[in-house]
Amino acid sequence: MSQHKRIILVSAMGTSPAVLTNTVWGLAHQKHSIVPDEIVVFITKSGKDLLIQRLFDDGIWNEMRSDLKREKIEIDGKLVFGATSIRVIPDAEGDEIEDLRTGDDNLRAADFMLSQLRQYTEDSETELHVSIAGGRKTMSALLFSCMTLLGRECDKVYHVLLPQDLEQGATPEFFYPEPGKTFVSKGATKKLKAKQITTELFEVPFVRMRGWYQEKFNAIPPSYRTLVARIQEVVPPAVVYPEIEIDAWNGWATLNGQQVPMSRPCFAMLLLLASGVETKEHHRRLLEAHRVSNTAACDWLTSFQEGPLFTNESDIEDIYKTMSNLRGKLKKAGLADAESLVPQRGRAVMFPLPRIKWRNVSKLADICGCLFVPSET
């Protein structure tokens, strides 16, 4: 295996060729200078025509190469950029698309970029540096998304950060800090000499999902939409937890605003679970709650004490029966993942307890501290 990986700069492009030259200049002038071996651009037909005119016909590309050489930056055999480097996104008939205007246009662009990128990411001798600074916002977003699906540890994504004075454009057009030139910013009409300008690249952190891709689809590259859908099938779905409110004194709990009917032992168990009381403490505390005096003012607690459960220290099964009943009540009320709050034997509570809203906590704690719940908010 070669010690030097072939560095490929891939750039989304619209109608501003300066995005590419600024990216190349910025990479070359980083603390750890990077000069790509090859350039690849994803572009539309209108963008292609303008790129050829400005960078090649007007000589900007060769001027930049000469300026890099004058700054003693090694570019021999590098920055290979020609007709085959310009990858125009196809339309529905396979012709060069003029612009990305519809949802179907953008999905075809995503399929095209995914296929093109995969040629490089399947080659262990390459390293991708991808600029998402150019093109329409949807195009840049789709290119970034493709990198989350295919990107390897060595691959990087960048955005170009220009000085604020140049964000609205300049005269002459700013392709890179061309030595000896002075640029006049549009609007503010501020003059900036090239040596005052720094083209900065922000390396965009991204989540690499390639592991999912390799494991599931290493034979045939599916379309972008299919790949996203299939990966989504194996990625755990996001959990949306409901709103739970508990009135500790009056003995009721609601799930998304609807009261959940439950027995008094279930409610006492809910207090302990929602408070974050350790599992090993549950049985002892419920036995203690059964013996608390002066509970006449708290109706639900009085009813709890009159019941048959949690009166026998040796009957640990009362705990499991009550938790099973509570899980059933919560599921019936709409908490699909009831086990997150009322876990099966030997498991921990996973429900985000800070999401629970409490009422009348201190009032109950004054007479029954063993069913301790968080401070009232």
* The domain over range 6-162+199-234 is classified in CATH as 3.40.190.10: no
Residues 6+ apart with CB under 8 A from 195: 177, 179
pLDDT of 103: 92
Token pair recorded at residue 278? 């350790």
The residues of the chain scoring below 70 in pLDDT are 1-3, 188, 212-221, 372-377
Residue pair 243/355 in contact (Cβ under 8 Å)? The answer is yes
Residues 6+ apart with CB under 8 A from 296: 302
110-136: per-residue pLDDT in tens? 999 999 999 999 899 999 999 999 999
pLDDT of 220: 56
Indicate the pTM of the whole model: 0.67
In the chain, where are the structural domains located? 6-162+199-234, 244-371
Residue whose C-alpha is closest to residue 256's, from 335, 362, 158: 335
Task: List the end-to-end C-alpha distance of the chain, in Å, as a whole number.
Answer: 63
pLDDT of 162: 86
pLDDT of 296: 75
Q: 255 φ, ψ to 5°?
A: -120, 115
Element (H, E) at 374: none
